[in-house]
Chain A
Amino acid sequence: MQTAIGTDHLDFSVPEPRNALTSKLGSDTTTSWLRDMMLIREFEVRTMQAYQDRKIGGFCHVYIGQEAVAVGTIAALEKKDPLVTAYRDHGHALARGMDPKYCMAEMYGRIGGCAKGKGGSMHMFDRINNLYGGHGIVGAQTPLGAGLAFGTKYIDEVIEKGRSNRVTLCFLGDGALNQGAFHEALNLAGLLELPVIYIVENNGYSMGTAIHRGTTMADSICEKARGYGIRACEIDGMDVLNVYDAMKPLVDEVRETGRPAFVDMRTYRFKGHSMSDPRKYRPREEEEVYESGDPIAKLRDTLMSQGAIDDAGFKALGKEIRLEVRDAMKWAEASPAPTPEEELYRDVYVEAWGPYTGTTEPQMIKECEGTHGQDG
Chain B
Amino acid sequence: MTRTIEYRDALNEAMSEEMRRDERVFLLGEEVAEYDGAYKVSRGMLQEFGPKRVVDTPISESGFSGMAIGAAMLGLRPIVEFMSWSFSLVAADPILNNAPKMLYMSGGQFGCPIVIRGNDGAGGQLGSTHSWCVEGLYANVPGMKMVIPAFPADAKGLLKSAIRDDDPVFFLESERLLAYKDEVPEEEYLIPIGKALVRRPGTDCTLVSFGRPVHFCLEAAEELAREGISCEVIDGRTIRPLDIDTIVQSVKKTNYCVVVDQSWPFASPGAEIAAQVHAACFDDLDNAVGRVHSADVPTPYASELEQEYLPNARRICEAVRATTYNA
Contact = CB atoms under 8 A, between A and B. Distances in A.
A151 B74 contact: yes
A184 B60 contact: yes
A143 B57 CA distance: 13
A5 to B, nearest CB: 28
A350 B166 contact: yes
A21 interface: no
Interface residues of A, number: 55
B228 interface: no
A200 to B, nearest CB: 18
A350 B167 contact: yes
Contacts of B98: 135, 140, 144
Given A127-B109, A143-B65, A349-B167, A151 B93 contact: no
Q: How large, as a class, is the contact surface on chain B?
A: 35 or more
Contacts of A147: 66-74
B110 A353 contact: no
A194 to B, nearest CB: 8
Contacts of A114: 107, 109
Nearest to A145: B70
Interface in A127-184: 127, 132-133, 135, 137, 140, 142-152, 154-155, 157-159, 180-181, 184
Contact of A350 (B58, B68, B107, B111): B111
Contacts of B74: 82, 147-148, 151-152, 155
Interface of B: 23-24, 26, 52-53, 55, 57-58, 60, 62-76, 93-94, 97-98, 102-111, 142-143, 145, 165-167, 194, 241
A116 B107 CA distance: 5
A125 interface: yes
Nearest to A349: B167
A354 B241 contact: yes
A133 B105 contact: yes
B107 A140 contact: no
A95 interface: no
Interface stretch (A63-71, A236-244, A252-260, A355-363): A355-363
A123 interface: yes
A350 to B, nearest CB: 4
A146 B66 CA distance: 8
Given A123-B106, A142-B66, A181-B62, 17 more contacts: A115-B105, A143-B63, A143-B64, A143-B94, A144-B66, A144-B94, A147-B71, A151-B71, A151-B74, A185-B67, A187-B60, A349-B103, A350-B103, A359-B108, A360-B108, A361-B109, A365-B109
Contacts of B111: 350, 359
B109 A115 contact: yes
Contacts of B94: 140, 143-144, 181
Contacts of B105: 115, 118-119, 123, 125, 133
Contacts of B64: 143, 184, 188
18 contacts: A137-B93, A143-B63, A144-B67, A147-B67, A148-B70, A149-B70, A150-B67, A154-B26, A154-B52, A155-B75, A184-B60, A188-B60, A192-B55, A346-B108, A348-B104, A350-B103, A359-B103, A359-B111
Nearest to B60: A184
A246 interface: no
A155 B77 CA distance: 11
Interface in A22-59: none
B70 A84 contact: yes
Contacts of A334: none
Contacts of B93: 137, 140, 181
B172 to A, nearest CB: 19
B197 to A, nearest CB: 18
